[in-house]
Each structure stands twice: as C-alpha cells, then as structure tokens.
Amino acid sequence: MNTRKLGTLEVSALGLGCMGMSSAYGPPANKRDMVDFIRTAHERGVRLFDTAEAYGPFVNEELVGEALAPIRDQVVIATKFGFDIDLETGNRSGRTNSRPEHIKAVAEASLRRLKTDRIDIFYQHRVDPDVPIEDVAGAIRDLIADGKVGHFGLSEAGVQTIRRAHAVQPLTAVQSEYSLFWRGPEAELLPTLEELAIGFVPFSPLGAGFLTGKIDENTKFDPTDFRNSVPRFSPQARKANMALVDVVKSVAKRKGATPAQIALAWLLAQKPWIVPIPGTTKPHRLEENLGAIDVTLTVQDLQELAYALAKIEVQGERLPEAALKMTGL
C-alpha cells in the first residue's frame, strides 16, 4: 500500500471508515466478523482506521479497539468527540458539547474503549456554536501535552474556524464529505488546507454507496438506514442523479476498472495529501476499494470527467436540514 501524509503524520493512501459496521447503514454487522475484517484490512496494508464515540454510541470504538489491540503500534486510530452523549448511559441529547472538561472526559472514555494509551487523531465531530474554537483547541493542546492525543482534527468545519483553531493548536487533518457526488470542498476548503499544510480525509468518498453503480431509484434501504432521510437519496433524486453514475461507469469501462475504483482514484488524483476513508463490511468490496490505488487517471481522463460532470446538476441536499445546520460547509 502506498502511503501519504496528513500534515506530518504518515498513513496508508486509503483508510477504513468503520462507522457502518455498527450504525447508520442498517443493523450492526456481526462483531466477531468485523474484528476479523478490520484485521484483514490491516493485513492488506490499511493503516488508518476511523471511528467515533457517536457511532453506536460507543460500540464502534469498542470494536475497533478489540480488533486493533494486537497490532496497536502498527496503525493510526482516529476517533471523534463533540456530541452531548452521556458517558455512562450513552443517551444523546442531539446537541453538540465541546466544553473543555467534556472533551477531556470523552478522551479518557475513548482511550478505555479503544484499549490504548493514545488517540492518534482526535477530531471535533461537529463545531460547537456555544464553545469558542480556541477553547476546544486549547483542550486538545493539553491532551497532546499529556501524551493522550497525538494530533488534532476537525470535521465539517468552515475555513475561518479552521484558521482560528490552527492558530492555537496546529491541525493535522480536516475531515469532510467529498466525492464526485459532492464537490463543495473545492471552493474554499481545499485551498485553505493546502495553504496551511493540513491533510484532508474525505468521508463518504463513494457517495454513501451511490457511486458504486449498485443503487438506483428502485433500491430499498433498511428502515434504520440513514439514507432514507437524505434528500439526495429520494427515489426521484436517485433517478436524476444516475446521469452522474453513467459518466463514472463509462470511464470505468474504458479503464478496465469498477465505478467505485474510478471514484476513489479521482479523489486520490486531486491532491497528494488527500486520504479517503471508504467504509464497507464486505471483504470483496474492501479488495475492490484497495484496487483503486493501482488505477491511474491521466490528465485526459480527469478532463473528460470534469467536462461531463460540468453538465450535470446533482439533485437533492447531501444531508437532512437539521444535520446541514451543524456543518460549516
């Protein structure tokens, strides 16, 4: 596996998003199977594993911790704080909570669940409008000084928030949605990250599965799947957005690759400091995703994609309205 750098932190060119193993995409997968799956990903060269206290809550961190405990020093573990979750019961208020004392309590709880003495990247999951970002960065700076956290990250933050945080405690990575399905970060976020030498970790790099070409307007999701509430995944929007998938499929056919591999290769071709974290629970999808590393998109390929995509207006918001209000993008 090729490596890339998020700031000064070296990681595999592709990471593994672990959220879907425990939540969001339907019923949780079998824990024993997922422990084996995560270890298989490591054997195949993956070194960056992404989780959060909110996934479950708590159970995804426990899964990742169990899976990676025997190989802890060979991997980079990223987790997140920032929601108002009771650390004893797991009950959620639905609000954000990045008060410094809460951040530090979350760090201790995450360390226990992850079976480790340090969190390699600690992201603020969503910006808290009630806590100055300087206070958040200061709390992380304290945790770094104590050796409990290695690197500071933000998720779905706006560029001014990033600049203010970075001035207090340098950021290693920013995580936000980015793919051929949603290219919002290109306007302001990517130029800012390049200027500040901060790495970028796109989540949903396959458009929550849409860019694989396996979803159409007739696809039925499990009742607990979050995509049921996403405007972009309404049947009407999916039908309209198939035009985007058709473009990706045409390039995939010509390159002897799959649509998913083209979508990931496109992200990797944007900047050398971009590290996507596709999530899956299926071994054959893991192999397919890792195959994107070997797909080279030429300047002509990228121009062809850009020309075709410029003619397509993706239909539907990427998140429900309440969730969109919690982002800085």
Q: Are strands 9-12 and 3-6 parallel, antiparallel or unpaired?
A: antiparallel
Q: Where are the alpha helices (DSSP H) in 148-210?
A: 159-168, 189-196
Superfamily assignment of 3-324 in CATH? NADP-dependent oxidoreductase domain (3.20.20.100)
Written as one string, the DSSP assignment of 64-131 is HHHHHGGGGGGSEEEEEE-EEE-TTT--EEEEE---HHHHHHHHHHHHHHTTSS-EEEEEESS--TTS
With contact defined as beta carbons under 8 Å apart, do 40 and 283 qualify? Answer: yes
Give the 3-state secondary structure of residue 199: strand
Distance separating alpha carbons of residues 202 and 156, to the nearest angstrom: 10
Q: In this predicted model, what pLDDT tens digit does every residue of 40-99 receive, in sequence order?
A: 999 999 999 999 999 999 999 999 999 999 999 999 999 999 999 999 999 999 999 999
pTM over 0.95: yes
Question: Domain residue spans in the chain?
Answer: 3-324
Residues catalogued as catalytic: 55
Q: Which helix (H) or strand (E) holds 172?
A: strand 171-177
Distance separating alpha carbons of residues 182 and 189, to the nearest angstrom: 13
Q: In this predicted model, what pLDDT tens digit does every residue of 193-243 receive, in sequence order?
A: 999 999 999 999 999 999 999 999 999 999 999 999 999 999 999 999 999
